[in-house]
A = this chain, B = another copy of it.
Amino acid sequence: MTKDTDTIHTIRWTDAGLELLDQRDLPREENYLLFADVTGVAGAIRDMVVRGAPAIGITAAYGLVLAARQHYAESPQDWRRRLDEDIGLLAAARPTAVNLVWALQRLQHRLAGITGDPAPVLLEEARAIHAEDIEANRRMGAHGAAVIDAGSSVLTYCNTGSLATGGYGTALGVIRSAWAAGKLQQVYASETRPWLQGARLTAWELVRDRIPVTLITDNAAGYLMQGRRVQWVITGADRVTANGDVINKIGTSSLAVNCRHYGVGFMVVAPCSTLDFSLDSGALVDIEQRADAEVLVLADRRIAAAGATAWNPAFDVTPAELVDCLVTEQGVIRAPDRAKLAVLEPGFGNSG
């Protein structure tokens, strides 16, 4: 309770390897796991030791550094082929967040001209991705907070803070900025079943920052809006497609539908690394289906009758037309659509 946000080291590169805060044990225990090889890192992403689109991208980048170091040491002639396999391994660890592929592509790009040991160059790039993410979050925080009127109350979803990013957070970064600016009356966090990232992680971060937080069950969000208790719902994104559709934690679309119905603002906060111009719309995104047990079992106890099955998509698609504001490090786009997003596409304006 005496620490502040800057002491949350979700992802830390050390001489011994990559250290990750095991988010599955929070808020009960703060356990750090050390990963010395890429297989372990891919497993950590898949098993949700670390989660959150930007954090996954940064983790994968460091994971590839571990792979490069190992493969070059074992086989200075043949490391490139084996590194390509590991890029595939990391990319497949979780299919929905685009930041993972984006980070790996950035590292891959740096490999092009290398003849000697690739590890130092990749480590430099991974560290740059990490640092840029924190910087982008700070900018998004300021951009998003500027949109919020003083005296507002907000609801946030899942965890989009220091634990989900390189640091500070996307949606939670906006909330941190707005709180620091004295604009917020109350912060609600939705618990976010089945993993309870809101209850376990977002509440933990906010309490550490001494920002009062009130939890709700996910099904209470509509009624919260009906009573005009919040003016904004603020979420992150795992991928934003070219038309502005938002892929984010399951339940996001239901919040957006309720926001539109009740006239509550719906804000999505995501760095440009989350934009995927290769996909035309959200319908084309591979939505990860996770194990039934995540729904049927809770705290190691089966909660549902034997014989029941589950449908457990990890993400859903919020149509662009339900998004009031898309906040990136470049600024705020109101009522995002294909044309407004195109300006953010890498290379826009360069082709004449």
- Given A27-B304, A196-B303, A251-B222, verify A310-B207 contact (CB < 8 Å): no
Q: Is the CB of A27 within 8 A of B222?
A: no
Q: Is the CB of B250 within 8 A of A261?
A: no
Q: How far is the CB of A206 from chain B (nearest CB, A)?
A: 8
Q: Is the CB of A308 within 8 A of B213?
A: yes
Q: Is the CB of A199 within 8 A of B303?
A: yes
Q: Which residues of B contact A28 (CB under 8 A)?
A: 301-302
Write the chain B residue with the least CB distance to A299: B299
- Given A199-B303, A305-B207, verify A317-B217 contact (CB < 8 Å): no
* Candidates B27, B218, B317; contact of A218 at CB < 8 Å: B218
- Given A193-B193, A222-B316, verify A304-B200 contact (CB < 8 Å): yes
Q: Which residues of B contact A258 (CB under 8 A)?
A: 254, 257-258
- Given A218-B219, A257-B222, A257-B258, verify A203-B316 contact (CB < 8 Å): no
Q: Is the CB of A219 within 8 A of B251?
A: yes
Range, interface on chain A:
35 or more
Interface string of A173-212 (1 = CB under 8 A from B): 0000000000000001111111010011001101110001
Q: How far is the CB of A181 from chain B (nearest CB, A)?
A: 22
28 contacts between A and B (CB under 8 A): A27-B304, A28-B302, A192-B219, A193-B218, A194-B217, A196-B303, A200-B305, A204-B304, A207-B308, A208-B305, A215-B304, A215-B308, A215-B309, A219-B219, A220-B250, A220-B251, A220-B316, A222-B253, A222-B316, A223-B251, A223-B253, A223-B254, A223-B313, A226-B316, A257-B261, A261-B261, A298-B299, A299-B299
- Could you list which residues of chain A lie within 8 angstroms of chain B, going by C-beta atoms? 1, 27-28, 188-194, 196, 199-200, 203-204, 206-208, 212-224, 226, 250-251, 253-254, 257-258, 260-261, 295-296, 298-299, 301-313, 316-317
